[in-house]
Structure 1
Amino acid sequence: MNSKHTGYPSDPTMTYSHEFWDNYSLFLLKQNIKKSVVPWYVLRTQHYIAEFPDEHIRTHTPYHVEQFLTKSGRETKLSAWQFGQVVDAIRILFSLALKLSWASDFDWDYWRMSAKPLEASHATVARDYTNALEGLAALDGEERCDHTLYTRYQPAITEVVRAIRLKNYSIRTEQTYQGWVSRFFYFHKPDDVSGLTGRHVKQYLEYLALKRNVSISTQKQALNALAFLFNQVWQKPLDDLDEFIGAKRQRKLPVVLSREEVRRIFQQLKGTHHLMAGLLYGGGLRLMECVTLRVLDVDFDYNQLHIRNAKGGKDRVVPLPERFKDALKEQIAKVERLHQIDLRNGFGEVYLPESLSQKYQQAAKELRWQYVFPASAVGVDPRTGVIRRHHLHETSLQKIIRRAVKQAGITKHATSHTFRHSFATHLLESGYDIRTVQELLGHSDVSTTMIYTHVLNTPGISVRSPADMI
């Protein structure tokens, strides 16, 4: 086994016999570990044991595991899946082999799943460093373009991105709009994009509805992007649309969990992911608002969370649930300990938007700017190459919540965003006025918030089922 692929130095000296490790390999096979990776699990376990040569393995505590995983998380040669393998190997050792009591409560999921690095296109880092044209040639299927088309439309797409950034739209909107504009160009393949008119837009929208069978929301999203191209970028009013064939409109109400269902899901969660789900529901947070929360955004004195630069560029204040207050204090204390260790080892820097990093040049290493939910491993910034500890990847929380919903026996299509829907609905059920709920959700228009009145059992008047009146 070549040690250069492990991310560790050469194999440590073992005090356990070959017979012991042969038996342990058989034990791993019984735990459904693939035969091809059993040697790696053995090696991960050996490296862990060798880290504490003077202490018997049965005397280890969660502190030993955290100490080792923190050290492993600073090893940049370890990829995310390798780090996850390290966590899983230690989990099997303590939970299944030794069956130590504390192992069942240890937050293995957080350590294993939150090491995934951010992609170059991730919303956290894409805006400041992205090449506006990056990735536009990677459209799928029949929309894939050749290099000639890609080169031909570069100036027009760059113009779109520039206009979006001048208006300070979110990176998600930027990525969505440039995607639709690119597809629009590649669909018509004009020699000169300035010759495109409303008639071409109508043709493309009808193609989406009739050939691609997109939803009404997807067609509307494409229309918004193309309207931005014509009206804001080219300063050419979008006309000649007439009555184009629209996608089939489906009136969908948001999925809402009952209070009992929320409790059942929470019972399936623990540790960091339990706390995050609690903030999603307790504060009505969007997924990325929770994941990117920083230490300075938490106000324990006023029981508030400050959500900064949210959707639409708006800031807002939401309640900090009292029941999660102690857990959040413990989480921030963990962040502080981890940050001090990172600083001692030459790390400790966190991502800041370019405007902030220029204004506060030392802020990136200050505790208050650290993420409340950091990744379990440091990673190379996909844009700059700087080694940083980013926030955990949002897919970690999404996967854990999906699993918890299933384990709770809930058949509704509930996701991380369902907690936000439930937050709004339960507030309205409790008698809070819709304007208050609108402010807490950060909606610009109260009509957006009104959707939640449709899922209440009492939408304005008390309605009793006729079946209950027999």
Structure 2
Amino acid sequence: MPSSNDQKTLQSGQSEHKKNRYLNILKSVGIPEKDHPRYVSEVETFLRVLRPSRLQDLPTKDVEAYLEELCTRTDLSDEQVRLSIGALRLLLLQLTPTPAGREIEWAAWLERRHSAIPEQTEDIANLREREMVMGSPRIAKATLTFPVLKDLSEAIQERHYSIRTEQAYLDWCHRFLVFCDKRETEEIEEHDLERFIEHLEVECGLAPKTRSAAYNAIAFFFQNVLDKPIEKLSAKKPRASSKVPMVLSRNEVRALLKEMTGVPGLMARLLYGTGMQLMECVRLRLIDVDLEKKQITVRNRKGEKDREIPLPERLCDPLSAQVEGVARQHQEDRASGIGAVTLPVAIAKEWPDAAYELGWQYLFPSGRLSRDAFSGHVGRTHLHPATLQRTLRVAGESAGIDTRISAQALRHAFASHVLESGTDIRLLQALLGHNDVATTMRYTRIMNGQKNMPVSSPLDTI
């Protein structure tokens, strides 16, 4: 059984003998004496982070998670990372032999240093992402077979559509061209679109909403690439059934938000307090938040339409703290020679150095660094939307809400509750960013469904 001193960490100041044993091991394996303080410091940092009660009980997965984070740190040189891994190896294999030390493949971790920093794969639409879309193996192969898809991509970019819209349009049009099986695009006619939509319904069994998305993509292709205006098409667009969105009550929202803390909690309150969409929230930058005017600017939405929305009073202090935290983190990143962020297309062309400016950093940055696939710059993209969605589901279950909770549910709740307070439908349309007021009008159906029928039945009057 290990003594009580063996169970205390090196940094406690009560295990000097254990520190001396570690120094003797360093001498025995030939580590230069000038490097001994660095080895001891790495071990102390490791123990301070993981806080094990006994090294023997240290889970292998916890050590590997620490090594994974160590390998992705761009502020450390390869030599520093190798030193850190070597220091931990001596700790867990020689000073105190542990199961975790025997299970870890130390040599493999040394090799992973060069490939551990991930490339950015999810961000807002920008020039380099456009190149990544067209350069992906699947799309690249499709454009070799159908060069007209390059024309489609250019037409989409001219209209400043989002990167996700471009990906969806390219996928649907590629499927359509494969279905048509014609050598020349000039041979494609209106009836081919009709046959394809029918194929999606009958043979593929796709829902009306999915078929409508396919129709939109191919109609865009007809009108803007094949130069066959949409007015001449006889194919009817599939119409999805109009459903009244599920809306949380005020008590349910209160119970849900009570279960959420930290950054996800702040984001959830921002969604309910402003009615923003999920991606609009995660893509907010510091420059978009004006705490003095108490407003948020939602930029680069569909068609690059910006809109301003009021900032809830209760969120001013938490957002101010979040901004200060991002500023501190960005300062640390810049001190390490990193901290670049992907910029919108127009800004990247005109002011490329803005990538390092604080204002363009994301309000909710990722906790992990990522490398830009083209420039090679390392920085932080925004928090992944799945993080918030997952937290919302767990919080909904903890709050005892039967329905499945998502970010969109908070947007629906915002719209419904704002209408209940007497807000004009046109103002709500502007706040939500709807192009058509008919989209906003569906929330009036919710309100009508929650009220008593205004007309009494004649049966009750006789």
TM-score (norm 1): 0.72
Relative to structure 1, is the Cα distance of residues 408 and 192 closer, same or farther in structure 2, using a 3 angstrom cutoff? same
Match of 1:197 among 189, 192, 197: 189
Deviations 1:350-370 (A, max 9, x none): 221242123224322221111
2:60 pairs, out of 36, 39, 61, with 39
SS of the equivalent of 1:368 reads helix
- Cα distance in 2 for partners of 1:449, 1:369 equals 31
Letter in 2 for 1:327: P
Question: Quick check: 1:373–1:391 contact (8 Å CA) kept in 2?
Answer: yes
* Distance of 2:299 and 2:239 partners within structure 1: 36
Change (3 A) 1:217 1:258: same
One-letter amino acid of the structure 2 residue matched with residue 255 of structure 1: M
Distance 2:55 2:454 in 1: 64
One-letter code of the match for 1:130? Answer: E
Cα pair distance change 1:339/1:210, threshold 3 Å: same
Q: Secondary structure at the match of 2:297?
A: strand
Deviations 1:334-380 (A, max 9, x none): 01111111111111222212421232243222211111111112210
Contact preservation (8 Å) 1:375, 1:393: yes
Pairing partner for 1:278 from 269, 283, 286: 269
Q: In the alignment, is the contact (CA less than 8 A) between 1:215 and 1:248 conserved in 2?
A: no
The correspondence for 2:158, drawn from 156, 166, 170, is 166
The answer for the alignment partner of 1:57 in structure 2 is none
Whether the 8 Å contact between 1:198 and 1:239 is mirrored in structure 2 is: no
256, 262, 266: which one aligns with 1:265 = 256
1:111-163 C-alpha deviation (Å, 9 max, x unpaired): xxxx996753644457654255344737xxxxxx9x6x76221x110011111
Q: Please tell me the residue identity of whatever aligns with 2:437.
A: V
Shift of 1:251: 2.9
State the match for 2:26 in structure 1.
none
The yes-or-no answer on 1:370 pairing with 2:371 is no
Deviation readout 1:229-261 (Å, 9 max, x if unpaired): 1111111245886566x7684332212111111
How far off is 1:184 after superposition? 0.3
CA distance in 2, matches of 1:361, 1:127: 13
**Residue in 2 that maps onto 1:350:** 341
The Cα offsets for residues 25-79 of structure 1, whole Å up to 9 and x where unpaired, read as: 54x6xxxxxxxxx22425767x8xxxxxxxxxxxxxxxxxxxx99x9585699xx
**Separation of aligned partners in 1, 2:176 and 2:295:** 44
**Counterpart position of 2:440:** 449
Residue 220 in structure 1 maps to residue 212 in structure 2 = yes
Partner of 1:106: none
Is the CA contact 1:187–1:204 (under 8 Å) kept in the aligned structure 2?
Answer: yes
Provide the secondary structure at the position in 2 that maps to 1:325. helix
Task: Output the amino acid matched with 1:376.
Answer: G
- The whole-number CA distance in structure 2 between the counterparts of 1:175 and 1:44 is 34
Higher relative contact order (CA 8 A, sep 6+): 1
User: Counterparts of 1:305 and 1:295 in 2: how far apart (Å)?
Assistant: 10
Q: Which amino acid aligns with 1:41?
A: D
Q: State the alpha-carbon separation in 2 of the partners of residues 199 and 239 from structure 1.
A: 14
Alignment partner, residue 400 of structure 1: 391
Question: In 1, are the aligned partners of 2:128 and 2:374 still within 8 Å (CA)?
Answer: no
Residue type at the aligned position of 1:188: C
Asked if 1 retains the 8 angstrom alpha-carbon contact of 2:153 and 2:166, the reply is yes
Query: Which one has a larger percent helix, Structure 1 or Structure 2?
Result: 2
SS at 1:234's partner residue?
coil
Question: Equivalent residues in 2 for 1:300-449 (5 A)?
Answer: 300-449=291-440
Q: Secondary structure at the match of 2:165?
A: helix
Residues 271-320 of structure 1 show CA distances to partners (whole Å, capped at 9, x for unaligned) of 11110111111011111111111111111122111111123321111111
Question: Is 1:250 paired with 2:241?
Answer: yes
Alignment partner of 1:151 is 2:144: yes
Report sequence identity in percent.
36
Check 1:433–1:199 CA distance in 2 against 1; reply closer, same or farther (3 A cut): same
Q: What residue in structure 1 maps to residue 134 of structure 2? A: 133
- Deviating more after overlay: 347-356 vs 319-328: 347-356
Q: How many residues align?
A: 379
Instruction: State the alpha-carbon separation in 2 of the partners of residues 172 and 21 from structure 1.
Output: 45
Largest Rg, 1 or 2? 2
| Distance in 2, Cα, partners of 1:444 & 1:465 | 37
Give the RMSD, CA atoms, in angstroms.
3.6
1:243–1:345 Cα change, 3 Å: closer
In 2, Cα distance between the equivalents of 1:75 and 1:414? Answer: 41
Contact 2:393-2:404 within 8 A present in 1 as well: no
TM-score with structure 2 setting the length: 0.73
Q: How far apart are the structure 1 equivalents of 2:383 and 2:172?
A: 29
Partners of 1:185 and 1:434 in 2: CA distance = 42
Shift of 1:462: 6.0
Q: Determine if contact 2:284/2:364 at 8 Å carries over to the other structure.
A: yes
**CA gap 1:349/1:132 in 2 versus in 1, 3 angstroms:** closer
Q: What SS class does the counterpart of residue 137 from structure 1 fall into?
A: helix
Q: Please tell me whether the aligned partners of residues 117 and 393 of structure 1 are also in contact (alpha carbons under 8 angstroms).
A: no
